[in-house]
Amino acid sequence: MTSNPSDVDPDLLRVAVAAKGPIGSLGGAWMTDPAEEAATEALGLHDWQLYFLGRHGVLSDVDPDVVAAAAYAFPAARVRSEWEAARRVMTPAEAVQHYVALCHSWGRTRMSGFEGSVRLIDLSQRIVDAVDLPGLPLFAGWRVLPQPADDPARLVHVFQLLREHRGACHGVALVALQMNPLIAILTNEGGAANAAEYGWQPPYPEVTDADRERLQRVERLTDELVAVPYGVLSAAERVEFLELLEAAYSHAFA
């Protein structure tokens, strides 16, 4: 990263924390939209197969173990099973095209008419462009994808980039603080239900107070890593960014 995380400006940290929720929703809601399920079925895929091949296909036509390194929330066996099943139907590049089209379509449906699009795209893109890439392969893969020309679709595209940035930083934090992804999932909101949905098999280990403390440290480090590229914005622009982000959230989910 461009700075020692412990030296991150408190205001940058505040902005990154405040942006976490809206970015998570605006950059990820399209992944669970009914249109995604319909597209998966129409393409001859099942369950999460389009998600695995479409989201992670930016890594190219690689061995599933490479994908599992980026898709750290899922057990490697599930990643391999879903990837190989989807790969028998289409190439990763084809899946990426279909998956990105869903992202853009959701943007055109939800963000059309949002008056702050142009300015929010500009501010968000500057943050995205300021991210250093070491340790963030999935984000890097998404960042090099072509962006659509129309503002509603492009806005959600850059939201997805910001979301991938945080997700990649979270993976780095888990490794840095030696926290097993399954333990992190069990410790977080959703717990065992999320673990089961992601494909982890019970019986699950018991969550301890030490696990809870470590997850707090992981979240703090994630926030610090995410905050660094926000320094490309001036203090006034950070305020503007958060205001526009909240407005975009209200527009999309009104």
pLDDT of 7: 82
Tokens for 214, please give them.
């470590």
Please give the model's pTM, rounded to 2 decimal places. 0.95
pLDDT of 1: 42
pLDDT band at residue 6, thresholds of 50, 70 and 90?
Answer: low
Q: Tokens 């099943």 — which residue?
A: 85
Q: What is the DSSP string of the chain?
A: --S-GGG--HHHHHHHHHHHHHHHHHTTGGGGSHHHHHHHHHTT--TTHHIIIIIHGGG-S--HHHHHHH-TTS-HHHHHHHHHHHHTTS-HHHHHHHHHHHHHHHHHHHSTT-TTHHHHHHHHHHHHHT---TT-HHHHHHHTSPPPSSHHHHHHHHHHHHHHHHHHHHHHHHHHTT--HHHHHHHSTTHHHHHHHHTPPSSPPPP-HHHHHHHHHHHHHHHHHHHGGGGGS-HHHHHHHHHHHHHHHHHHT-
Give the mean pLDDT of the chain.
96
Q: Each residue of 49-93: pLDDT tens digit?
A: 999 999 999 999 999 999 999 999 999 999 999 999 999 999 999
Q: Each residue of 84-137: pLDDT tens digit?
A: 999 999 999 999 999 999 999 999 999 999 999 999 999 999 999 999 999 999
pLDDT of 2: 44
Q: Each residue of 128-168: pLDDT tens digit?
A: 999 999 999 999 999 999 999 999 999 999 999 999 999 99
Tokens for 110, please give them.
């939800």
**What are residue 102's phi and psi, to 5 degrees?**
-65, -40
Burial 37-74 (b: 16+ CB within 10 A, else e): eebbeebebeebbbbbbbbbbbbeeeebeebbebbbbb
Distance of CA 145 to the CA centre of its chain: 15
Average pLDDT of span 206-233 = 98
Q: Is the pLDDT of residue 4 over 90?
A: no
pLDDT of 68: 97
Residues 224 and 32: their CA atoms lie apart, in Å, by 28
Residues 27 and 158: their CA atoms lie apart, in Å, by 8
Residues 43 and 151: their CA atoms lie apart, in Å, by 27
